[in-house]
Structure 1
């Protein structure tokens, strides 16, 4: 396969070129805007950014006892922290009809982490009866990176004590050993509410679906920088997408999936000119559903030559998948944005230097889009379990998220930095750039 040997070269109108957009951003930042752009630290420094929390994340402090647990609202995003030992508590006030999901993204500080260190998230009723719990460890790729774990209160589930309205506890703790690194981890909490169906349908998962991997994609890749968090994930769709990734860095992408659509994804590291030493677990890829529940993850080593890691084939998106036993099938239960998170282990820098390596994502979306289930209400946040026209346009190569030029323009427009002077300067630079480039076009 001849993947991404050359970047795609497009002849663009000067006002739409990446260089012109970059000039505008640079001019604006020079006019007294020394503050970093919120939620996009990669724009303020030319180094791999840390996790970019959602700009609307609300600060909340987890309690050390369930009686003091602060409430979380379905549909909202929060920023918190997790101590190195002990449990912390939050609460959810829930009705008797909706399923509610809580996803917790742990963000440890840079450095090595033990393979079996990680986090556990649980939902319980006020009497301590478990509704669900999940845990996740860092595994063989022993470098610090964001990992997300979800738990749920499912009215449609098999636990009768969790079907009534009332207050429920969310419990978060470290899955730590004695030699785990001390210190607190940052957390991002994302809550999602799914209403019941208007009419009850099938209560078993589809028994058969096409699990054959399609033929590999060929041709040139499209350049697309990844985001630094779920909220800033860059949108991708069918095709090959290339970027650079540095050791210790995590890149976030999202793939809009309609009901009935099926995702196949592969990530590949390019060749290195710095040797052929072995890193046993270098590249990690994880896939999360729209509620940020883990669907699948995989990792691979690296020896200086092109190396790919492929996620397992997934079933078509269907409401009934929730009745399957394997998580890889059960968690493909919603339409919406599915998140690909790619991490390059910090250890790679010890053997190949701090410089970036080429990364290519192969994304294939099969199947025919189908009507979704009829909900008896609206999910929270609204639109989380659907694909909009804007999502489809972005996946096809239109407006994108991430920490690239388009994201920079978006953040500049909405972040509120600067004043009328900045706007005038930006417009002036835009006009000058346009006139000069039109004259040479």
Structure 2
């Protein structure tokens, strides 16, 4: 199925939350507003999660396999706790544990913290999980509200609700979840329902939906353990935005920005924020990316444009066309002498360039978005140029050797690194997974995703209408690429092969690049390119297996040379070379960032045996049974954000 390009991504279901830290320095950035501050990680680099456990009397009922629900939940939760890395900040709250009947005073406020959120509390968590007993009612609204208070009001926070029934108290817990989610754009509520059906299941599903989380069914003792441990492993990190908090102004009074990464927020459909970048040197190339996950449950979109002294230099838009996937829209703007999509002359001249990002349609609530600003020095020689590879058509990747297992990530900065070969992975409907493929100048890539024909329980859940799957590519700025000729990027997640390609990375201003790549972002900078696999949500909670095939074509070639001996990469600003040949500018060099990451994440990386950039590679096999402790540790609950000083 061949369609016109779309801009797609999504964040995934979170059970054990990961948060990032670090900011990119920027000039003239104002103090963050509440929403922007919530989108940025805390100083200590980690978020907080509360396990919220149902201790109502119905938890004593059988769960199948000779166990009660409470016994099965204890066993599963103990496995999860034992797999937590030391850095994970996790607490435990119960509800319905002390007041027996709904006619007794305090039954609707019966919720207690038994373990405060922290990192040195594993023994206390294990003891508390083993001690809690089924007893009272089901005051979910109060428990949710108190769990949110336990987590504070800043940074990324997650509530994991484990329950077997419908709330016995007012107000409607679905409405409470929606109100709590509005208080912080990085608060999520994920729900595991234990042998529930009918109205109770609908209510728990609604709590997850309104809390920007995911609902999972667990129907038997074995299923409870499988679901909790499986979801714990795959929910290692949510989609996160990196950057310094900033508040954009109106177009008539834009906020000054410099090279760097920023996080701001947009209100309802039609809202816009503007920024002004001052170019000091003629001939540089200004690249800007804007990306947002948008609002779950709505069609959404992002529009961006850059206007210079001579007029509008570039315009881009990204629209989400499905409401049941947590997609992210990523667009790129370019203002330069040879790469912009506009015919306006003078987009390489010094002066003030106004960047405006707008909410396109559909959304009603405030959402965060990221802004990436780079400036490339004037180019003297473009380096590698090969029209054949620049106009690459889709072909099946040539791969050999054994299929390797890899766990996809929910964010760009946590994506595991893959290379030429076949990689097996799984995706749950509603997720979007990321994998990174480093490409140097002169290198291209063919990419395919194979979904086998569904069988067994998966086929039974799919029925006649399997969910749709998407294959999407992103450049190092995290903006979506267009689709080359022959791309099959959308199809069923049942017995379908999707495929597309990345043309050779080149700074040469060929026709395909001057219009930007087929309506998407360009491929003019070496760095990490991203493969994204997403599946539409249709109330399925089973994992869908797939094979990701990647073929990197070509050897690294010469990149561009810059005026006055400057050096530059996609993570740097424009600057003259210093005495050691390193670019100076507003960002740290990649080597600085990698060194910081290695120091911070070395222990987790050693355990995972994963990538050596930005965190563990998370090459973890997920089975239908209990994940072993090593797999949970290898999944790495928490990831650091790459910091730039």
Residues 141, 284 of structure 1: 8 Å contact kept: no
Alignment match, 2:292: 106
Residue number in structure 2 paired with 1:258: 440
From 544, 549, 559, the equivalent of 1:362 is 549
Distance in 2 (CA, whole Å) between partners of 1:218 and 1:137 is: 37
Q: Give 1:78 deviation, angstroms.
A: 0.9
1:26 to 62, 81, 85: 85
Matched, 1:119 2:302: yes
Post-superposition shift, 1:142? 5.6
What's the TM-score, normalizing by structure 2?
A: 0.50
2: distance between equivalents of 1:150 and 1:42? 34
1:431 paired residue number: none
Partner of 2:16: none
Give the secondary-structure state (helix, strand or coil) at the position aligned to 1:355.
coil
Greater mean alpha carbon deviation, residues 101-110 or residues 137-146: 137-146
Corresponding residue for residue 418 of structure 1: none
- Picking from 232, 240, 251, the partner of 1:52 is 240
1:306 paired residue number: 495
| 1:166 to partner: Cα distance | 1.6
CA offset digits 1:75-126 (Å, max 9, x no partner): x111111122232211211132211111111112332x33xx4111100126
SS in 2 for 1:208: helix
Q: SS state of the match for residue 410, structure 2?
A: coil
The 1:126/1:373 distance shift into structure 2, 3 A limit, reads closer
In structure 2, what is the Cα distance between the partners aligned to 1:40 and 1:317?
38
In 1, the alpha carbon distance for the partners of 2:505 and 2:382 equals 18
Alignment-derived partner of residue 328 in structure 2: 146
Out of 353, 377, 381, the residue aligned to residue 571 of structure 2 is 381
Paired residues of 2:611 and 2:617 also in contact (CA < 8 A): no
Q: Which has the higher contact order (CA 8 A, sep 6+)?
A: 1
Deviations 1:194-231 (A, max 9, x none): 112234679xx744346462455355422222222222
Shift of 1:414: 9.9
Paired residue total: 370
Q: Does the residue aligned with 2:517 lie in a helix, a strand or coil?
A: helix
Residue 525 (structure 2) aligns with: 334
- 2:515 and 2:283 map into 1 onto residues whose CA distance is 25
* Contact 1:314–1:328, Cα closer than 8 Å, also in 2: no
Q: Which residue of 2 aligns with 1:288?
A: 474
Please list, as runs of the form range in 1=range in 2, the aligned pairs for 1:58-137 lying within 5 A after superposition. 58-63=244-249, 65-74=250-259, 76-84=260-268, 85-95=270-280, 96-111=282-297, 113-114=298-299, 117-125=300-308, 129-137=311-319
Q: Which residue of 2 aligns with 1:428?
A: none
Q: Is the 8 A contact 1:121 1:151 kept in 2?
A: yes
**2:534 is the counterpart of 1:343:** yes
Contact in 1 for aligned 2:413/2:642 (Cα 8 Å): no
Report whether the alignment pairs 1:319 with 2:507: yes
Report what 1:228 is aligned to: 410
Aligned pair partner of 2:388 in 208, 215, 221: 208
Change in CA separation of 1:372 and 1:253 when aligned onto 2, cut-off 3 Å: same
Matched, 1:169 2:354: yes
Inter-CA distance 355–109: structure 2 relative to 1 (3 Å threshold): farther
Contact 2:397/2:550 (CA < 8 Å) preserved in 1? no
Structure 1: gaps (5+ residues): 1-21, 416-441
Task: Note closer, same or farther for the CA distance 1:283–1:402 as it changes in structure 2 (3 Å cut).
Answer: farther
Distance 1:70 1:94 in 2: 15
Summarize the Cα distance change of 1:123–1:278 in structure 2 as closer, same or farther, 3 Å threshold: farther
For 2:275 and 2:499, the matched residues in 1 are separated by 36
- Indicate if the aligned counterparts of 1:227 and 1:402 stay in contact, CA closer than 8 A: no
- Specify every segment of 5 or more residues in structure 2 that has no aligned partner in the other structure, as ranges: 1-80, 89-118, 123-149, 161-187, 189-230, 573-582, 596-604, 619-632
Which residue number corresponds to residue 427 of structure 1?
Answer: none
> Does the CA contact (< 8 Å) of 2:491 and 2:498 recur in 1?
no
Indicate the residue corresponding to 1:189 in structure 2: 371
Please state how far the C-alpha of 1:411 moved relative to its aligned partner.
Answer: 4.0
